[in-house]
Amino acid sequence: MQELRLIDPYGYTVPGTVQSNVPDANAGQVTDRLLHEVAPGHAAAWDSAQHRFDARDYTVQPTRV
């Protein structure tokens, strides 16, 4: 089992994205959803002259539970 969290370009966990107790067999699917569906929305919401977020700069941090 894993806990997966989406991390923004500044190293912070994106609120509401911590996925707990993800079976190892599903980790890839959850990672893909976070990176390809959630990250672009968060990046767009925070894209400004001050931040310049890009979805390609997000990562997923796995932790074994």
- pLDDT at site 41: 94
Q: Give the distance from CA 24 to its chain's centroid.
A: 17
Q: Identify the bridge partners of residue 15 per DSSP, sorted by sequence position.
A: none
So what's the pLDDT on residue 50?
Answer: 74
Question: Mean pLDDT, consecutive 10-residue segments, the chain of 65 residues?
Answer: 96 97 98 98 82 91 96
pTM recorded for the entire structure? 0.90
Distance CA 48, CA 60 (A): 23
Question: Which one-letter DSSP state was computed for residue 13?
Answer: B
* Chain centroid to CA 62: 10
